C-alpha cells in the first residue's frame, strides 16, 4: 500500500540521518576534546628590543641642558654635583711698549694693528676737557681707521706744575689701560700748569701713545682769539695728528715744514706749527684751523693701507 511504504521509507531516512548525526557528533566531540585537552604550541614572541640610550647631557647652574659629550669624551658630570667654577678668562696679551711719537700710527689705523681703539682721557680737576674734543677725536679716528673707537674719562690728582716728558709718560702708565693685541690705547692728558721743556707749548706729544693739553696755556693762547673751546679742540686734534704720524713722522713725503719739523707748512691745516703754541693768536687770525687738510688725509690713508 502506498501509505505504509512511505512510512517505511521515512523510517529508513530517519535511521540513516541518525547514523550520520551520530557520526558527526562523534567527530565534533573528538575535535572539541582535541581542542580542549591539547594546547596549541605557544607563539614565540619577538625578543623585546631595549630602548636606545639617551644622549648624555650636562646641565648648567641655570638648569639648561648643555652640550652633548662627544663619543670617547669624558663622562658628563653628576647632575647632583655642584656646578664647577667657570674657567677664568685668559689674560689679554700685552704688546711691546710704545716708542717715539708716530710709532703707534699703524696700530691705530691699520686693520692688522688692533681690533679696536680706546681713547683714554685723564684729567685733573679744573683742567678739562671743557669741550667735546675727545668725542670729536673718537669720531675722526673711527672714520680714518674703520674700527670701533670708544672714549673713557677718569680723573687724576695733583695741582698745577711744570710737567716733564717723563712725568707725563709715568702719569699715563700709572692710570691708563695697558696696550694689548686686541685694543690699542691712545691717552690724552688734560692738566694744569705747563710743559717744562717748552713754556709756550699749549699741547705736546711725548710718546707714540701719549699726548697732553695744558689748561692754563689754552687760556693764554685764546686771549687774543676769545675762544678757549676752539683752541682746546684744535690743540687736541693737533696732538692726535702727531700720534697718527703727521707730518712725516712715519712717511717720508718731504712736505713737512723745514723750519718746524713734524708740522705742515699749510696755515689751513690743524697740523700747522702755531696751533700748539701760545703764539697762536698772534700768528693766526680768525681762529685756529681744526681739521686735517687734504695732504694730511692722504698721508693718513697711506699709513692705514700700509
Give the model confidence (pLDDT) of 71-85 as tens digits: 333 344 455 555 555
- Report percent pLDDT > 70 for the chain: 70
Task: Provide the Cα torsion 53, 56, 61, 64; round to 10°.
Answer: -70
DSSP-derived secondary structure letter, 276: G
Integer Cα distance of 53 and 138 in angstroms: 57
Q: Where does the pLDDT of residue 53 fall: very low under 50, low under 70, confident under 90, or very high at 90 and above?
A: very low
Q: Is the pLDDT of residue 3 over 80?
A: no
- Identify the helix (H) or strand (E) that includes residue 14: helix 2-37
Q: What is the tens place of the pLDDT at every residue in 252-286?
A: 999 999 999 999 999 999 999 999 999 998 898 88
The pLDDT of residue 63 is: 37
Residue 94 DSSP SS3: strand
State the cell numbers at 145. 681707521
User: Would the pLDDT of 29 be above 70?
Assistant: no
Cell numbers describing residue 55: 644622549
pLDDT of amino acid 274: 96
Q: Is the pLDDT of residue 4 over 90?
A: no
pLDDT for 285 equals: 81
Superfamily of domain 105-305: Collagenase (Catalytic Domain) (3.40.390.10)
> Does the structure show a pLDDT above 90 at 35?
no
Mean pLDDT of the chain: 79
Give the whole-angstrom CA distance, residue 196 versus residue 206: 12
Output the pLDDT for position 90.
55
Residues 145, 138: Cα–Cα separation, whole Å: 10
The phi and psi torsions of 80 (rounded to 5 degrees) equal -85, -10
Q: Which of 74-88, 213-227, 289-303 has the lowest mean pLDDT?
A: 74-88
Q: Is the pTM of this model over 0.85?
A: no
Q: Report the share of the chain in percent with pLDDT over 90.
A: 64
- Quick one: pLDDT at residue 22? 37
Q: What is the DSSP letter of 200?
A: T
* In the predicted structure, residue 66 carries a pLDDT above the cut 70: no
Instruction: Check residues 127 and 223 and name the one with the higher pLDDT.
Output: 127
**Domain residue extents for the chain:** 105-305
In this predicted structure, the answer to whether residue 62 has a pLDDT above a threshold of 50 is no
Q: What is the mean pLDDT of residues 182-196?
A: 98
Least confident of 23-27, 199-203, 209-213: 23-27
Which residues have a Cβ under 8 Å from the Cβ of 117 and sit 6 or more positions away?
A: 108, 141, 142, 145, 147, 148, 149, 150, 183, 184, 185, 186
Determine the pLDDT at residue 81.
Answer: 55
Closest CA to 297 of 236, 234, 251: 251
Residues 236 and 140: beta-carbon distance below 8 Å = no
Task: Please determine, for residue 60, whether its predicted confidence score (pLDDT) is greater than 90.
Answer: no
Amino acid at each position: 500500500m502506498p501509505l505504509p511504504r512511505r512510512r517505511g521509507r521515512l523510517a529508513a531516512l530517519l535511521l540513516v540521518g541518525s547514523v550520520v548525526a551520530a557520526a558527526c557528533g562523534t567527530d565534533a566531540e573528538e575535535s572539541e576534546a582535541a581542542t580542549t585537552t591539547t594546547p596549541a604550541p605557544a607563539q614565540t614572541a619577538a625578543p623585546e628590543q631595549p630602548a636606545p640610550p639617551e644622549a648624555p647631557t650636562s646641565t648648567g647652574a641655570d638648569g639648561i641642558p648643555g652640550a652633548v659629550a662627544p663619543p670617547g669624551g669624558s663622562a658628563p658630570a653628576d647632575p647632583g654635583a655642584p656646578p664647577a667654577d667657570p674657567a677664568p678668562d685668559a689674560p689679554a696679551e700685552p704688546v711691546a711698549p710704545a716708542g717715539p711719537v708716530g710709532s703707534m700710527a699703524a696700530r691705530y689705523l691699520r686693520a692688522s694693528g688692533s681690533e679696536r681703539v680706546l681713547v683714554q682721557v685723564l684729567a685733573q680737576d679744573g683742567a678739562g676737557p671743557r669741550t667735546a674734543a675727545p668725542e670729536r677725536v673718537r669720531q675722526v679716528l673711527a672714520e680714518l681707521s674703520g674700527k670701533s673707537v670708544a672714549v673713557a674719562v677718569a680723573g687724576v690728582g695733583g695741582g698745577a706744575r711744570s710737567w716733564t716728558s717723563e712725568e707725563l709718560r709715568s702719569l699715563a702708565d700709572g692710570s691708563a689701560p695697558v696696550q694689548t693685541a686686541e685694543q690699542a690705547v691712545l691717552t690724552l692728558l688734560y692738566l694744569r700748569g705747563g710743559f717744562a721743556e717748552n713754556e709756550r707749548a699749549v699741547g705736546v706729544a711725548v710718546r707714540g701713545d701719549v699726548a697732553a693739553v695744558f689748561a692754563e696755556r689754552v687760556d693764554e693762547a685764546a686771549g687774543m682769539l676769545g675762544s678757549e673751546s676752539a683752541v682746546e679742540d684744535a690743540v687736541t686734534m693737533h696732538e692726535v695728528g702727531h700720534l697718527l704720524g703727521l707730518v712725516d713722522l712715519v712717511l717720508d713725503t718731504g712736505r713737512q715744514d723745514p723750519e718746524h719739523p713734524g708740522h705742515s707748512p699749510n696755515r689751513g691745516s690743524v697740523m700747522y706749527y702755531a696751533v700748539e703754541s701760545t703764539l697762536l693768536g698772534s700768528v693766526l687770525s680768525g681762529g685756529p684751523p681744526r681739521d686735517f687738510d687734504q695732504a694730511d688725509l692722504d698721508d693718513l690713508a697711506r699709513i692705514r693701507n700700509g
